[in-house]
Each structure stands twice: as C-alpha cells, then as structure tokens.
Structure 1
C-alpha cells in the first residue's frame, strides 16, 4: 500500500480517537473547557438504528444553534423528530432544520465563520473583506454536500 492509501485510514482513526476524547470531556464535569464552542449531537442511523454521538462546533444565532457540516450524520435527521444534544453539560432535545439553499446558508455561514473562523479552513468557506460569505466558495461547498443544521433547543420537560 502506498502512503496515500493509508492516510485516510490513519486520519479516520485519529479523528475517531479525537472525537472519543472530546465526547468524554463534554460529558464530564470538565465540559466547560470545550462546551462554549462544541456540543454533541446524537442521531440514529436510518437503516441500522445505531446511535451516533458526534461532537461538532456550533455558533449561536437568534436563539438557535448553527452547525456547518458536510458530514453524513445529518442525513439521519428525520424531519419533525427532535434530536438529542449535549449542550453545556445538559442533555436536551432540539428541533432541527437542514439548510442547503444558498441565500439562507450564506447568511447563517456568516455567523458560523464570525464565531468560529477555524471552521472555515475545514469547510473551505471564508468571509469576504466586507464580512459577507464568499459565495463561490459556499456554492462549491454546498455542491459537495455541505449544509447548515439549525437547532432550536426545546424547553426541558418537568
């Protein structure tokens, strides 16, 4: 095998280990170290029913939590069915919407990139000098499966 063939496996293994460490911290009393920028979203596989707990970066905007992602877990979100998130040390439910249309994604990505500029390097999306989302970069990312997941935390049931 060539080194280029091994790279995805190594990266995938590294990502899995890193995600496990982040999940452990976010579920522990040490969560304040990371929970101002990261949360865990838990989705069930549509075919397998297996639960997947994904640590993701988020931005807050207009009472919602915004996640920019190209990851496949978003395809397991079922419209009208709340999703479970671990947000700032608490397990809560949230309504969700997957946004892939360019005008709304551009507005929301401006907030994501303003609050989390590092995300732009991974997503290959950036802000223009005037502070707006670079539309050619966003268009390319959307064409390759990127979306914005907008979460609306639901009040806790008593």
Structure 2
C-alpha cells in the first residue's frame, strides 16, 4: 500500500517544507471502489448497462451520500481518464497526486477533514478488512483498506481520532 520511494519524491518535489507525509497509497485510480448512493462498486452509474468490474481487494473505497460529494466528483474525471498517481495524506491535506511531475489533481485541506479513525470496511463476497477512514466535513470520505495484518497495524497507528 505505501510506496516509500514515492514518499521521498513527493517530499522533495511536492510537499511544503514543514509538511509531514503520513500515508502514500496506490498507483492509480483503477483499484478504487465506491460505496456511494447512485453508483456501483466500480464507480459507474447504477443504471449503466455494462457489467460491473470492481476490484476484488481495493486499496481504497470512496464513500458518500451521492456522486456529487466533493471528493467523488473531483476524482471522477481522472479515474475515467485512466490517470496514474497516488493518494497522499499529510499533516496539511489529503490529495491525489498524478504520477507525472507530481501534479496535484484533487486536494482536500486539513480544515475540511473531520476525522481519521479505524473502521471495518465491508468488501464484496462477505469479506471485510481493517481500514483507515478519512471523513470530510460533509460526511463523505475515503477508506484506505489494509491488505494484511501488518498493514492494518500501520494504518491503525494513523487513526488517533480527530485529524
């Protein structure tokens, strides 16, 4: 889940001098899942004729009450374009940063983050996994899903409650 090499490049090329990187996740938006009213697990409209192709074990799940939630709406153009990048949680913001030239495409300032907590994320096939939940002021947000027990421990350490 966390790419330590990406963290070094981000710290050098993208972060403010006093900004601390807490988490770097993923290398694209293709393994992102959705728990959003009106959307299927793969992010397509509920009425889409194409069969769903959800990731079996997503690295992250966006959640919210509608596709118009700020985070969901901001991510959609980059997901459908197949852009590659990483989710980055820092002391100042949550952002999705495109791989090429560290271009920030989605940013949520820390003031709009309501909380960071540990949660159990339901997954397809009656499975579940530990996740770090970053909830925004409007109640939407993103769950970073642990792939294994060691990763769950790392994510739990980032979940002190209030951000």
TM-score between the two structures when normalised by the length of structure 1: 0.21
TM-score between the two structures when normalised by the length of structure 2: 0.21
Q: Which has the higher helix share?
A: 1
Larger Rg: 1
